[in-house]
Structure 1
C-alpha cells in the first residue's frame, strides 16, 4: 500500500493544480567538513571501481547525516552496478521521497531498477511519470519511451503466462556437469550436444532407443579436438554438422564456423567454412536450413545494426555458400541478436535478443517468414519460458510439439555451475508450421544392392526452382523435410539407371506423425531385354485434367526428364501405357486410357524424340495394381507408365 501511495504521489505532482512538498535534504556542499572529506574519498573509490569500499564509506556518511542526498544517490548507483537491486531500489525511493526535483532522471532510473526486480507495473508507472514531467523536452525522452514500452510488454507477458512444464532429458544426457546446446537430426533419433566437463568444450552424442529413452551420451570422436568446439547445427539427415570453433590455429577471428561429416558411421573430415562465411570478427551459432540452401549464423562483422546480428548465406548451384546477407532491422536491432534456430519448416525463426521488448537480459523471440520472403515482426515467446534472467538457444522438434533448452536450475548453492538440457511441450501458438519428411533407400532393382550417389530431387508443384536436392549416402539413404501446404514431386536417378518418380500431396490436411518411408528400386538401363520384358516405370507426376486426356502443366517436368533419358540412351525404344480405375463404363475407360497415353506420346515427339522409337497403348481398367474399393487404391490405378519394349542401335 505504501508503494502504491508513493507512485500515485509521483503522478499527482505533475498534474495541473497539484504539488508535492519537497522534504528537507542535504547536498554535498552543505555537509560538515568530515562528511565532505568522506564523500570525496567515496567518489575516488568509485573511479577506481572499488565499489564495496565506496559503499562502506557512504554508509559512514549516511550514519552521520541520513539526509545526505548525494551520498544516497551514489550508494544507489553502486548497488545497481553490483546488481543488488533491492538495495538500489531502497536508496532511490528514499531520494525521491526527499525531492523529485533534485535529479528528475532518478524517476526513470528507479523504473529501471524495478524492471530488473520484475516489478514491471511499478517500472511502467515511474517511466510514465518521468515522461509526463519531461513533456518531450528532454534528452532522455526517447530512451524512456522505449523503457516504458519494455515495461508495459513485460507486465503484459507476466499477466498472461504461457503453458510451460519443463522436464529433464534424463540421466543418460544430464550429469552434475555442464550439458547444453542440443542439436537433433530431423527424425529426432540422433542428438549432438555440447559438454564442458574438463574446462574444454566438446561434443557428445546420443541416440533415441525403441523405448523412447536416450542412450548414454558418448564423446563424438572425429570432431572433438584439443580446442573448444560447440554451438552446433545438424543437417536434416544427421550426416553433416556445422559448429563453432574458437581460437583454432586456422581461425580468422576469435570464433569461426567449421563443419564435419558422418560417413560409414564415423564422424570426421573437418573443414574450415572459410570466407565469405568466416571473417576476422566473431562468427558463431550456425543454423542450417533443412533443405541445406541457407546457413544462418551470428556475427559481429561490420554492416550490421548493433553488437551481434543474425546473418545468412545462400548456397549456390555450385554447392558453395555465397556472401552473407543481414536479416535486416525487423530482426536485428541496435543491441544484440544471437542464437538463431531456423526450424525445418524453413519459415519459423527462433532467436535471442537483449533489445526487442521482453522480460530482461536475453529473451527468446519468434519470427515467421512472410509471403514475400521477408521476416515478420518478432514476437516474445512468453513468460515463464522467458524470465528476467538470460535465455539462450531454443530448439524445436520436427513436429513442433517439443522444445529444448538449457537451464542451470539444478546448480546447488556453493557448488560448480550445473547446466542441463530440458524439454517441454511447446504451446500451440509458438509452434512452427506442420511438416513431415520423406526418408528412403535407393536400391538396384535387380541385385538389391544400395546405390550411393543417386540424385534425389524434390520440386514443389507450380514452382520452377528445386525445393531440395540431395545425393544418397554410402548406405543408399536420404532424408528430406517437406513442409505442408504444397504438393511435391520426387525424382530419383543415377547414371546407368532408369529414373523413379513419386508424389506427395500435402496441400491439404495430412498426418504429420507419419513420415514417408520409401524403398526405391532403380532399374538399370537394359543392355538386353529380359525374357519376361522390362518392368514398367510409373510416371507418378504425369497428371491430366479430370476425365480428360489434356496434360496438366505440372506434368512437364517429369516428361522432360523422360525426354532427357531417351536422348541420353538412344537405343531405348519405349511404349507409353495408359491405365484407369474401374469407375464408369469399361469402353469409356479404355478410350480415355489410350487417349492419355497418346497425349504423352505426342508430347515426346514434339520434344524431338523420333516417332519410330515410341508407341502407346491404353489398357483401361484391365490391369489394376491396387484394390478399386478405396479412393487411395483407385488413385494408384489411374496411372501412366513407360515400358522399354525394344533396344535399337546407338
Structure 2
C-alpha cells in the first residue's frame, strides 16, 4: 500500500537517516590493518558517498573488500550504500559477510542491527528472530536499546503469526481510467459511492485533488481537477468528504506562499454549492498551529473532525485528535483521543466510518508487521466504560512489512478502498487505487449504515428548498446526524446507522416540518438490507390554514392513550416549531384503524390527541393556541385492512388553524 508523500508524510525518510549515519561513520569495527590500496579505495568511496553519489561509491567499496576481504568497515559502508540505492539483497550479503567474519555482536553490532532491520522490512520474520536475539545479548534488559530490540522481536513474531493466518481478501485495481498521474492515492468516496476524490502526484512533484463520478453504464468517468479554487502550485492532498460530498477538508502545505497558514501543513475547508466549490478557508488557529496538522477525516454529517497533529499535549509524536463543530459552524478545541488508540510512537491517516463508531487508522506503535499497519478501534458509547476499544490489527495481506498509508471503508461496510504502491527491484514505480471486499470477520465489526438520498422542495411551487435534516435517536433523544440540503438544488444525503430507532425531521423556515420514523434495531448486517440506500424526496408545506402533517414518532401502547417516553423527541420538535412561530395556532387530530368498536375508537383518538396537547402545555405552549379532536376510524389515510394500511391509519395529525 502507498507510502505517503508531501502533504501526508509520516516520518523522516529512512534513507535520509542512513545518509546521516554514513556521514558520521568513520571506524565502527575493529578491523585488522588493511593494505594501503584498500584504505585508499575505501576513502574514495566514503568521499563519493558524502557527495551523495552512492552508485559511484559502490565500486570503490567493492574493490576495497576484494583487496582486503577482512576489511569490516568497507563491508559495512558497502552494505549501507546498497541500502541507500535500494538494493536490499546485496546489502544483506555485505552485512552477513561482516557477521561471518566477526560473529561477536559486541563488535559487529551495527551489522546485526542493519541485517535485522532489512529482514523485518522485507517481511522475512523467521530469519530476523535469531539475528535480533543474538544482538540483544549486548544490552542490559531494561536499556532503551534492549527495549527497541524486543519491539523488533515482537514485530517478527506477530508477522510470522499473521502470515500463517491470512485474512481472505482479493485486491484489484478500481479502474484504469482513474490513473491519470504518476501516482494516485488517499481515495475517499461519498456515502452512495457515486463520487470519488483522491490525491494525484504530478511528474513535477505537485499534488492536486482530483474527482470522478460513476459512469451510468458502470465503471468510472475520467477524473478532472476538483476545483480551480482549490488547486495551487503548492501541494493539496489527503482530503476528506462529508457523506453528501459537499463539505471538503484537505491538507495544504505552504512552500511558495500561495496559501497562508499557521504551520508547514494546515487544514482547509471548502463548501460545494451546486457544482461549484468555494474558495478554501483555513480552519483557523483552534485547529491549525505552528505544528503539523494533516490527514483529516470528517464524520458523515461533517460535525466531527479527526486529524493528525504533533502539537503539545499528545501521547506520542503524531497523535489522532478530534474536534466538534457547533451549530454556528465553529470548530471546538481539539481533544486527544488518548489511549488505547494513540501510542508513544506515531499514528497516521485516521478514517471515521460513516457509522460514527468505527475508526480505522495507521500506526507504528501498536503490535504489527513492521512500519505502519492499519488498525480498527470501535467507540462504545453504551458500554459500562464508554470509550475506544483496544485497536485490532487488520491482518495480512491488508497489512504487510511495508507501510500501509490509509483505508476507506464504504458506508455499507462491504468494500474497502486504498492505494497500492507498485514496485520494481525495490523501487516504487507508481501508486494506483485498489479495492477489495471487506472480510466477513471485519464486516461484522463495522456497523453498516443505510443512507437517504433525495430532494426537498416546496409542496406548492416545487422549487428546491434550503432545508435541515436532523436524525435523532428516540431512545436517547440525542442528535445522531444533522445535514443541510444544497442551497441551489435542494438535494441531500443523510446516513442511517443500523441498530437504532430514529426520528428524522426535515424542516425549513416558514414551513411545517416533516417527521419520519426508521426502526433499525434488528438490522445489524448488510444481509438484512442495510446499506443499499433509499431514495426519499420530501415536500414541505408552507405555513397556512390548509397545511397539515402527520406526527410519525409518537408512541402509544395498544389501546392506551399515555405517551411513551420515546415520544418526547417529536413533542419537543413540535413545541420548538410553535415557539419559533408564536402566532401560529394548530389542531391536533387523533385517528385509529378500523378494528374495534366505533365509540371506543373515537374516545381513544380524542384522548390521544388531548394527551399531546397536554404535554405541549406542560412545555410552555399556551393552551389557547391548541385544539385537540378525535376522529376515530372515520377518516382513514389509506384504504385497506392490511397491517401496513392499519399502521398508517393509526396516527396523530397536526394542521394549522
Q: With the length of structure 2 as denominator, give the TM-score of the two structures.
A: 0.84
| 2:104 is aligned with 1:101 | yes
Instruction: Show the counterpart of 1:17.
Output: none
Secondary structure at the residue paired with 2:470? Answer: strand
| 2:626 is aligned with 1:619 | no
Instruction: Show the counterpart of 1:183.
Output: 188
Aligned-residue offset at 1:323: 1.8
- How far apart, in 2, do the equivalents of 1:112 and 1:416 lie? 19
Q: Deviations over 1:80-134 (max 9, x none)?
A: 5555332343344444445543527455654333212321122234334555786
1:505 counterpart (519, 522, 535): 519
1:496 counterpart (503, 510, 518): 510
Instruction: Show the counterpart of 1:336.
Output: 346
Contact map agreement 2:512 2:547 (CA 8 A) in 1:
no
Question: Which of these two proteins has the greater Rg computed from alpha carbons?
Answer: 1
Instruction: Structure 1 unaligned segments of length 5 or more: list them.
Output: 1-26
Matches within 5 A, 1:224-263: 224-247=231-254, 248-263=258-273
Matches within 5 A, 1:127-206: 127-131=132-136, 136=141, 140-175=145-180, 177-197=182-202, 199=204, 200-206=206-212
| 2:534 is aligned with 1:516 | yes
- How far apart, in 2, do the equivalents of 1:240 and 1:175 lie? 24
Residues 638, 142 of structure 1: alpha-carbon distance in 2 compared, 3 angstrom cutoff? same
2:215 counterpart (209, 222, 240): 209
- How far apart, in 2, do the equivalents of 1:201 and 1:99 lie? 48
Q: Deviations over 1:553-607 (max 9, x none)?
A: 1212322332343345455443322222334555443333232122113223333
Aligned-residue offset at 1:60: 4.2
- How far apart, in 2, do the equivalents of 1:608 and 1:69 lie? 88
Q: Deviations over 1:272-317 (max 9, x none)?
A: 2221111222222211111222111222333334443322211124
Residues 100, 586 of structure 1: alpha-carbon distance in 2 compared, 3 angstrom cutoff? farther
Residues 337, 207 of structure 1: alpha-carbon distance in 2 compared, 3 angstrom cutoff? same
Q: Deviations over 1:581-634 (max 9, x none)?
A: 334555443333232122113223333444444333333333332465544333
Which stretch of the first structure deviates more once superposed, 217-226 or 53-62? 53-62
- How far apart, in 1, do the equivalents of 2:131 and 2:643 lie? 66
Contact map agreement 1:175 1:420 (CA 8 A) in 2:
no
Secondary structure at the residue paired with 1:566? Answer: helix
Q: Deviations over 1:472-501 (max 9, x none)?
A: 322222222121111111222222222221
Greater relative CO, 1 or 2 (CA 8 Å, sep 6+): 2
Instruction: Show the counterpart of 1:544.
Output: 556
Residues 42, 330 of structure 1: alpha-carbon distance in 2 compared, 3 angstrom cutoff? farther
Contact map agreement 1:306 1:332 (CA 8 A) in 2:
yes
- How far apart, in 1, do the equivalents of 2:372 and 2:568 lie? 50
2:33 counterpart (31, 34, 41): 31
Q: Deviations over 1:311-343 (max 9, x none)?
A: 221112432001222222433333332222211
- How far apart, in 2, do the equivalents of 1:113 and 1:226 lie? 37
- How far apart, in 1, do the equivalents of 2:201 and 2:406 lie? 17
- How far apart, in 2, do the equivalents of 1:202 and 1:137 lie? 47
Contact map agreement 2:38 2:67 (CA 8 A) in 1:
no
Secondary structure at the residue paired with 2:573? Answer: helix
Secondary structure at the residue paired with 1:578? Answer: strand
- How far apart, in 1, do the equivalents of 2:485 and 2:259 lie? 34
Matches within 5 A, 1:504-583: 504-509=518-523, 510-526=528-544, 529=545, 534-583=546-595
Q: Deviations over 1:220-243 (max 9, x none)?
A: 333323433222111211112111
| 2:598 is aligned with 1:598 | no
Instruction: Show the counterpart of 1:66.
Output: 69
Instruction: Show the counterpart of 1:22.
Output: none
Q: Deviations over 1:171-225 (max 9, x none)?
A: 3322363332222222211222222345232232221133222222222333323
1:457 counterpart (467, 470, 478): 470
Q: Deviations over 1:513-547 (max 9, x none)?
A: 44233222222222xx4xxxx35321111111333
| 2:373 is aligned with 1:356 | no
Residues 565, 254 of structure 1: alpha-carbon distance in 2 compared, 3 angstrom cutoff? closer
| 2:277 is aligned with 1:267 | yes
Contact map agreement 1:28 1:39 (CA 8 A) in 2:
no
Q: Deviations over 1:140-198 (max 9, x none)?
A: 32221111111111111111222222222323322363332222222211222222345
| 2:117 is aligned with 1:117 | no
- How far apart, in 2, do the equivalents of 1:203 and 1:418 lie? 17
Contact map agreement 2:412 2:532 (CA 8 A) in 1:
no
Instruction: Show the counterpart of 1:394.
Output: 407
The count of aligned residue pairs is 611
Q: Deviations over 1:399-431 (max 9, x none)?
A: 12111122243x789999433222221212333
Instruction: Show the counterpart of 1:405.
Output: 418
Contact map agreement 1:459 1:465 (CA 8 A) in 2:
yes
| 2:295 is aligned with 1:285 | yes
Q: With the length of structure 1 as denominator, give the TM-score of the two structures.
A: 0.85
Secondary structure at the residue paired with 1:149? Answer: helix
Contact map agreement 2:45 2:60 (CA 8 A) in 1:
no
Aligned-residue offset at 1:397: 1.4
- How far apart, in 1, do the equivalents of 2:59 and 2:279 lie? 59
Residues 462, 251 of structure 1: alpha-carbon distance in 2 compared, 3 angstrom cutoff? same
Aligned-residue offset at 1:505: 1.0
Aligned-residue offset at 1:40: 7.6
Contact map agreement 1:28 1:68 (CA 8 A) in 2:
no
Instruction: Structure 2 unaligned segments of length 5 or more: list them.
Output: 1-28
